[in-house]
Amino acid sequence: MATYAIGDIQGCFDSLQQLLEKCRFDPASDRLWLVGDLVNRGPRSLATLRFVRGLGSAAVTVLGNHDLYLLMAAAGFGRRSKGDTLDEILNAPDRDELLDWLRHRPLCHREGEFCLVHAGLLPQWTVARARALAAEAEAMLASSSYTDFLANMWGSEPAAWSEDLEGWPRLRVIVNAMTRMRFCSPAGVMEFKSKGEVTAAPANCLPWFAVPGRRSAAEVLVFGHWSALGLRVEPNLLALDSGCYWGRHLTAVRLDDRALFQVDCSAADALG
């Protein structure tokens, strides 16, 4: 039995199938850990959702910002981006089953020494604390009043965590940290505009994982979201968004022994 962690797929279904073949993935005995952003931008988001859902317990996926964007669009909230590729899902005969499955996915998953999350964890959170906070947002998203959550989830304020936060602002910080964050200040104030390389960090900010004293550093954080960061394999860090949609690679790391597997972006999935 092996566990393969895979970076952002974003509807690049053909590339995913090629990568699984290269890994010799067997759903009867192996497991997939997916960093989120299953959908959007790539050409086959519907096939990706159906495939991952069909794997059942053989796949663990956390929610990414594009997955949440799909849920918001389906509920009629927010503005649709001109280049999104969600209509095939929204018009599918099984859309309700797929969306219901998606909104019951976790924001972070902890198992053994590993923590799977789409974007990151604020520096003042231990993994145990982050998992407890994620459960607060997950409960709202899985509840019968989930549309209220979606209506109040998006936005960039407040930009920092405080134990005194309550209600929607509290949940918004949790969601933003786990699905949108790249840079933050040493005090954990998030900056959402910058998406480039580490060398282009905004003033007084660091990559979230480079903040001195980060309280989750004792465990291995497995994440994606940051294509400009690219692949990083470090003792306590596995950054797996290697920019498949942007024409680069789709990457898997076998967690058991850190073996690396990559495929070039499929011609069918390539941007443009």
Asked if pLDDT for residue 272 goes beyond 60, the answer is no
Higher pLDDT: 267 or 73? It is 73
Q: How far apart are CA 113 and CA 220, in angstroms?
A: 6
pLDDT tens-digit map of 126-178: 999 999 999 999 999 999 999 999 999 999 999 999 999 999 999 999 999 99
Average pLDDT, rounded, for the chain:
96
Nearest Cα neighbor of 10 from 58, 77, 97, 81 is: 81
Q: What is the mean pLDDT of residues 256-267?
A: 95
pLDDT value for 78: 79
Q: Which residues of 54-71 are buried (b: 16+ CB within 10 A; e: fewer)?
A: eeeeebbbbbbbbbbbbb
pLDDT digits (tens, 9 = 90+) for 32-42: 999 999 999 99
Query: How far apart, in whole angstroms, are the C-alpha atoms of residue 212 and residue 3?
Result: 30
What domains are defined for the chain?
3-264 (3.60.21.10)
Average pLDDT (261-271) is 88
Q: Is 166 exposed, middle or buried (0-12, 13-18, 19+ CB in 10 A)?
A: exposed
Beta bridge partners of 117: 108
Question: Which residues 6+ apart lie within 8 Å of 159 measured at CB?
Answer: 173, 176, 189, 190, 191, 192
Tens-place pLDDT, residues 47-96:
999 999 999 999 999 999 999 999 999 999 978 888 899 999 999 999 99
Residue 266 DSSP one-character state:
P
Q: Is the confidence at residue 271, as pLDDT, over 80?
A: no
- Take residue 268 and report the two structure tokens written for it: 């069918």
Q: Is the pLDDT of residue 200 over 70?
A: yes
10 Å CB burial of residue 157 (0-12, 13-18, 19+) is exposed
pLDDT reading at 18 higher than 70: yes
Helix (H, G, I), strand (E, B) or coil at 67: helix
13: Cβ contacts below 8 Å, ≥ 6 apart: 42, 43, 44, 45, 47, 48, 51, 269
State residue 80's pLDDT score.
Answer: 83
Q: State the pLDDT at residue 25.
A: 98
